[in-house]
């Protein structure tokens, strides 16, 4: 898809719809699946009926009511507890280094929100930029996905990064949290991921998204590199040796996040703009089913 | 050292281009990255400037050196100093025509040797010369340094009975060749062959070849039949480039026209399309040099189909040059021999220095350069511009006596000789040429005489002269060539008339030397190098 295509385009919506297939694989059951599994303990309590809407699971249709009234209604159950997925999208300037990178990050955020809604969990999406967290939107059911995607479509990048600090704040609560960021933040990831789930923090997922050029630089020669976030410059001569050292630094960064995630019971996935969003999300949901999927 | 192709030095302009490209490539480029965090960590501890696979300036020096060498090679440097390695071939024409005296009183041989000495003075003193003469000198092939060779040549003289084409002696593994002749050589001049023209400079153009283009070569226009066309090759024997126009005529009506430029001393061909009609019935090709006041310089008649050969009986020493002139003049293949070609007797009997007794049947042409035939008798009117024959009119021949000072006459025999005989004379640059003709009982007889001390005109260089005579003798009133100029003043040549008469075509060496002078592959290599340099990823 082109980098300027809308997240509400029919094509992207169809791709989101196909993500339902991911929910049938494995036992995770989605970005909130782990949380539901751990809290299951009985039959859900019936709460009310409502009109059937396209996209509703046919298993929730009350066929007896249909036989009686001729109207399609679905049964709604009261959840055992409030299960929500809080998606945290890094909106710092480095995320907009290339249109493809910013596009892929928003796609991942949209896919995570959609998956949460597909499992009948609520979702809310925040964007962190300029040291602030802004709520883009929230939805408790699938019809609320489209307004959320429209807001994701319009958001832009600016300011310095603070993914570690934002994640540290956002994951406090009984909800699952997902961070979508390039993680180009010198802060120690253990600050955000040190507290395990069982200590009251929700399940946490971290998705690192980098541009293909950032993941494997191809430039060569004398360059003045400029930081897109603060304008700082670095004069260097890019050659094989420097590129090798860059890749080593990147690998070390991923290793730090991976270890921190493992210690905190979180999931960490690294992806690039060269991969489709479905592949990155699949590695996040089924980390053991996709081998060599990039989780460092 | 000098440059044989100085324009090739323009290739050195690529040097500053390379420097500019290098400077542009060495400039630090700006590149925005998401964050400097990883780059700063990677560059930490690395010395500035490291990471290059090759230092830039030695590579630039290599490129500049290669480009400069290429540019110099394109210019084709040559050392003309005291190089001891030059071997030069000198071919000198010793045929009888080289003894012809010019207006300044010197012979072509003397003029040729003077020009040769000037040319040899340009060579390194250590140059070794090999001299071949046509016909050969008594001592055979001469070899030695410049002064020795010139001394021997100056002591030599042309062979009064010699004939042959000196161009045939050119060849061999020599650095350069010099050809001294008064004829237009059959070889084109190149950078390795210098032709020293010993003949007097004259200005004229001649049609070397004209033939109807085959139908397959004709330009085809949509909806129309192929346009008939004539291919004409014009040789420029002047000393300057000539702008010429060619007309294709049938019965005085122009069928087509073409113009071209012919370099001095070269031949050039052009196709004249007959847009005004067909070529049926025979046509004429007429050329006109824009640089002179003449209405036309040469005309060639073309027949649609080759006629039967011309059977010529030859009595006396045979002249190949005259045979070619006869072929050129008549446009027919010349078969020389004693026997009748088709049983009707020879079409022409050429008596060369010899008077046959009895007189053969049919047209007779007597050529007497020595005026030694006792039966000939010629009385010159003292002050007349036109000579009249006298003496025994009953005699078949007219005696030719040429006084030391020939009275200048103008005009040229252009009409058929009436019964009873008449004669016309002309003075061509101090070389009297007389043609006399008479008819006895319908049998045309022509006598051509030359002064004993003058040059021979029995070469293809006088096709128009012979066309007049032979046209009157063999086919009166249908001379195949006409000219506005005294042929003795012209320098017309007809190099491939035998082929034309036989209906064959030969390749024309048009501008061959011009192609040989360039080094296009070197220029292409230089361009490819530059293009590769431009395409390199910065």
Is pLDDT larger for residue B456 or for residue B211?
Answer: B211
Query: Token pair of B180, please?
Result: 């001294």
Question: pTM higher than 0.90, yes or no?
Answer: no
Give the number of A-B residue pairs with CB atoms closer than 8 Å: 105
Chain A: residue nearest B50 by CA?
A: A237
Instruction: Map residue B296 onto helix, strand or coil.
Output: coil
Q: Check: CB of residue B161 under 8 Å from CB of residue B178.
A: no
Chain B hits for A95, CB-CB cut-off 8 Å, are 34
Contact between chains at B34 and A182 (C-beta distance less than 8 A): yes
Residue B511 scores a pLDDT above 80: no
Chosen from B21, B29, B33, B41 to mutate, greatest number of chain A CBs within 10 A: B33
Q: What percentage of residues in chain B have a pLDDT greater than 70?
A: 47
Indicate the pLDDT class of residue B226, thresholds 50, 70 and 90. low
Instruction: Tell me what pLDDT residue B342 has.
Output: 58
Give the number of other CB atoms < 10 A from CB of residue A168. 18
Q: Do A227 and B43 touch (CB under 8 A)?
A: no
| Record: contact A239-B53, CB cut-off 8 A | yes
Residue of chain A with shortest Cα separation from B40: A234
C-alpha to C-alpha distance for B444 and B441, rounded to whole angstroms: 8
Question: Does the pLDDT at position A209 exceed 90?
Answer: yes
Average pLDDT score, chain B: 64
Say whether residue B42 is in contact with chain A using an 8 A CB cutoff: yes
The answer on pLDDT for B509 being more than 90 is no
pLDDT digit string, tens, across residues A228-265: 888 888 888 888 889 999 999 999 999 999 998 888 88
Q: What is the pLDDT of residues A10-64, one digit of tens each?
A: 999 999 988 888 776 544 445 554 443 333 333 456 778 888 887 777 878 888 8
Measure the CA–CA gap between A183 and A101, rounded to whole angstroms.
13
Q: Which residues of A fall below an 8 Å CB-CB distance to B?
A: 93-95, 97, 101, 161, 182, 184-186, 210-211, 214, 219-229, 232-242, 245-246, 248-250, 253
CB burial of B270-290 (b: ≥16 within 10 Å; e: otherwise) equals bbbbbeeeebeeebbbbbbbe
Closest CB to B39: pick one of A101, A211, A234: A234
Cis peptide before B135 (omega within 30 of 0): yes
Chain B, 51-90: which have a CB under 8 Å from a chain A CB? Answer: 51-53
> CB distance A248–B51 less than 8 Å?
no
Q: Which residues on chain A are in Cβ contact (under 8 Å) with B39?
A: 225, 234, 236, 246
pLDDT tens-digit series, residues B265-324: 677 888 888 887 777 767 778 888 776 656 666 777 776 545 677 888 887 767 666 776
Pick A217 or A23 by higher pLDDT: A217
Question: B464 and B487 in contact (C-beta within 8 Å)?
Answer: yes
B147-199: per-residue pLDDT in tens?
Answer: 888 988 888 888 877 777 787 888 888 888 888 887 655 555 555 777 776 66
Beta bridge partners of B431: B428
Q: Do B35 and A235 touch (CB under 8 A)?
A: no
> Which pair of structure tokens corresponds to residue B460?
């293809």
CA–CA distances in Å: residue B318 to residues B100, B199, B355, B440 = 21, 24, 14, 26
User: Longest Cα pair distance anywhere in chain B, in angstroms?
Assistant: 126
Sign of the alpha-carbon dihedral angle for B476, B479, B485, B491: negative
Sign of CA dihedral A119, A124, A129, A130: negative
Contacts 24+ apart (CB under 8 A), B449-454: B449/B367, B449/B368, B449/B369, B449/B371, B449/B376, B449/B378, B449/B400, B449/B402, B450/B368, B450/B369, B450/B402, B451/B371, B451/B402, B451/B406, B452/B369, B452/B370, B452/B371, B452/B402, B453/B101, B454/B100, B454/B101, B454/B430
Across A125-129, A160-164, B251-255, the highest mean pLDDT is recorded for: A125-129
pLDDT score of B31: 87
List the single range of A202-206, B262-266, B267-271 with lowest mean pLDDT.
B262-266
pLDDT digits (tens, 9 = 90+) for B91-129: 998 887 787 776 677 888 888 898 899 888 888 888 889
Question: Does the pLDDT value for residue B388 go beyond 50?
Answer: no
ipTM value > 0.85: no
Cα gap A68→B394, rounded to integer Å: 152
Distance from CA of A74 to the nearest CA of B (A): 48
- Tell whether the model's pLDDT for residue B262 goes beyond 70: yes
pLDDT value for B292: 64
Q: What is the signed CA dihedral for A43, A49, A52, A58, rounded to 10 degrees?
A: 20
Residue by residue, DSSP assigns B313-334 as: EEESS--HHHHHHHHHHHTS-E
Q: Which residue among A223, A228, A234 places its CB closest to the CB of B40?
A: A234
Alpha carbon of B269: minimum distance to chain A alpha carbons (Å): 59
Q: Do A224 and B36 touch (CB under 8 A)?
A: no
* Predicted confidence (pLDDT) per residue in B409-427, tens digit: 222 222 333 334 433 333 3
**Looking at beta carbons, which residues of chain B come within 8 Å of A219?**
31
The DSSP element (H or E) to which B366 belongs, if any, is strand B364-368
| Residues B34, A246: C-beta atoms closer than 8 Å | no
The pLDDT value recorded for residue A79 is: 53
Query: Model confidence at B204, in pLDDT bands (50, 70, 90)?
Result: low
CA distance A43 to chain B (A): 49
Q: Which residues of A touch B46 (CB under 8 A)?
A: 236, 241-242, 245
pLDDT recorded at residue B380? 33
pLDDT range class, residue A127, cuts 50, 70, 90: very high
Distance from CA of B45 to the nearest CA of A (A): 11
Q: Which of B40, B41, B42, B49 to mutate to test binding with chain A, by most A CBs within 10 Å of its CB?
A: B42
The answer to whether the Cβ–Cβ distance between A223 and B30 falls below 8 Å is yes
Interface touch B34/A97, C-beta < 8 Å: yes
Q: Give yes or no for B295 touching A (CB within 8 A).
A: no
Residue B113 burial class via C-beta count within 10 angstroms: exposed 0-12, middle 13-18, buried 19 and up: buried
DSSP letters, B254-279, are: EEEEEEEEE-TT-EEEEEEE-TTS--
Which of A156-160, A271-275, A287-291: highest mean pLDDT?
A: A271-275
**Half-sphere exposure of residue A37, counting CA atoms within 13 Å on the CB side?**
10
Say if B30 is an interface residue toward chain A (CB within 8 Å): yes
Contact in structure between B132 and B93 (CB atoms under 8 Å): no
pLDDT on residue B414: 26
> What pLDDT does residue B338 have?
61
For residues B174 and B89, the answer to whether their CB atoms sit within 8 Å is yes
Predicted pLDDT of residue A181? 92
């Amino acid at each position: 898809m082109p980098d300027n295509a809308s997240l509400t385009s029919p094509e992207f919506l169809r791709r989101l719809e196909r993500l339902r297939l991911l929910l049938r694989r494995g036992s995770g059951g989605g970005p909130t699946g782990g949380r539901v599994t751990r809290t299951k303990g009985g039959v859900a309590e019936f709460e009310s009926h409502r009109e059937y809407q396209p996209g509703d699971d046919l298993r929730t249709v009350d066929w007896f009511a249909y036989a009686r009234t001729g109207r399609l209604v679905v049964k709604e159950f009261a959840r055992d507890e409030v299960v929500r997925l809080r998606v945290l999208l890094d909106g710092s300037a480095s995320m907009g280094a290339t249109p493809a990178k910013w596009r892929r990050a928003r796609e991942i955020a949209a896919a995570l929100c959609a998956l949460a809604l597909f499992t009948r969990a609520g979702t809310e999406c925040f964007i962190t930029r300029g040291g602030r967290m802004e709520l883009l939107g929230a939805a408790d059911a699938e019809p609320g996905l489209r307004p959320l995607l429209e807001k994701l479509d319009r958001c832009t990048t600016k300011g310095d990064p603070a993914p570690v600090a934002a994640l540290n704040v956002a994951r406090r609560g009984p909800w699952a949290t997902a961070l979508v960021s390039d993680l180009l933040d010198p802060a120690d990831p253990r600050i955000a991921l040190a507290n395990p789930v069982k200590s009251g923090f929700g399940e946490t997922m971290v998705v690192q998204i980098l541009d293909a050029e950032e993941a494997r630089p191809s430039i060569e020669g004398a360059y003045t590199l400029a930081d897109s976030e603060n304008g700082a410059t670095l004069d260097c001569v890019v050659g094989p040796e420097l590129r090798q050292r860059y890749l080593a630094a990147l690998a070390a960064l991923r290793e730090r996040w991976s270890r921190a995630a493992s210690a905190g019971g979180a999931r960490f996935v690294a992806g690039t703009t060269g991969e489709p969003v479905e592949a990155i999300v699949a590695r996040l949901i089924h980390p053991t089913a996709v081998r060599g999927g990039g989780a460092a | 050292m000098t440059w044989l192709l100085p324009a090739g030095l323009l290739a050195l302009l690529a040097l500053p281009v390379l420097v500019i490209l290098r400077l542009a490539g060495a400039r630090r480029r700006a590149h925005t990255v998401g964050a400097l965090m990883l780059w700063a960590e990677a560059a930490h501890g690395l010395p500035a400037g490291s990471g290059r696979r090759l230092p830039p300036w030695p590579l630039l020096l290599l490129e500049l050196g290669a480009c400069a060498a290429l540019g110099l090679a394109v210019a084709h440097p040559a050392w003309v100093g005291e190089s001891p390695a030059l071997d030069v071939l000198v071919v000198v024409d010793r045929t009888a025509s080289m003894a012809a005296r010019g207006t300044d009183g010197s012979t072509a041989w003397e003029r040729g040797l003077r020009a040769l000495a000037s040319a040899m003075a340009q060579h390194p003193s250590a140059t070794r010369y090999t001299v071949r003469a046509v016909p050969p000198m008594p001592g055979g092939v001469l070899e030695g340094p410049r002064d020795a060779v010139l001394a021997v040549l100056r002591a030599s003289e042309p062979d009064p009975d010699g004939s042959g084409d000196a161009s045939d002696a050119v060849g061999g593994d020599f650095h350069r060749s010099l050809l001294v002749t008064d004829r237009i050589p059959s070889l084109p001049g190149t950078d390795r062959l210098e032709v020293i023209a010993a003949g007097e400079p004259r200005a004229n153009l001649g049609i070397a070849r004209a033939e109807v283009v085959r139908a397959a070569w004709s330009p085809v226009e949509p909806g129309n039949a192929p346009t008939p066309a004539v291919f004409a090759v014009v040789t420029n024997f002047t000393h300057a480039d000539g702008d010429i126009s060619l007309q294709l005529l049938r019965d005085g009506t122009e069928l087509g026209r073409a113009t071209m430029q012919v370099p001095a001393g070269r031949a050039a061909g052009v196709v004249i399309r007959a847009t005004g009609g067909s070529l049926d019935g025979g046509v004429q090709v007429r050329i006109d040099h824009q640089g002179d006041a003449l209405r036309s310089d040469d005309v060639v008649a073309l027949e649609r189909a080759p006629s039967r050969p011309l059977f010529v009986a030859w009595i006396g020493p045979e002249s190949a040059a005259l045979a070619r002139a006869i072929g050129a003049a008549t446009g027919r293949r010349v078969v020389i021999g004693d026997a009748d070609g088709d049983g009707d007797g020879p079409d022409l009997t050429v008596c060369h220095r010899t008077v046959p007794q009895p007189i053969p049947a049919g047209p007779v042409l007597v050529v007497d350069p020595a005026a030694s035939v006792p039966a000939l008798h010629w009385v010159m009117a003292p002050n007349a511009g036109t000579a009249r024959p006298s003496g025994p009119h009953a005699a078949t021949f007219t005696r030719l006596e040429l006084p030391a000072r020939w009275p200048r006459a103008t005009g040229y025999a252009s009409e058929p000789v009436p019964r009873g005989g008449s004669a016309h004379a002309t003075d061509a640059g101090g070389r009297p040429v007389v043609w006399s003709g008479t008819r006895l009982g319908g049998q045309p007889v022509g006598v051509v005489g030359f002064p004993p001390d003058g040059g021979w005109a029995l070469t293809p260089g006088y096709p128009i002269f012979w066309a007049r005579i032979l046209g009157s003798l063999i086919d009166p009133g249908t001379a195949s060539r006409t000219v506005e100029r005294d042929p003795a003043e012209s320098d017309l040549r007809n190099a491939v008339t035998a082929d034309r008469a036989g209906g064959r075509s030969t390749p024309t060496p048009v501008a061959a030397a011009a192609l040989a002078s360039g080094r296009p592959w070197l220029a292409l290599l230089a361009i490819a190098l530059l293009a590769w340099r431009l395409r390199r990823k910065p």
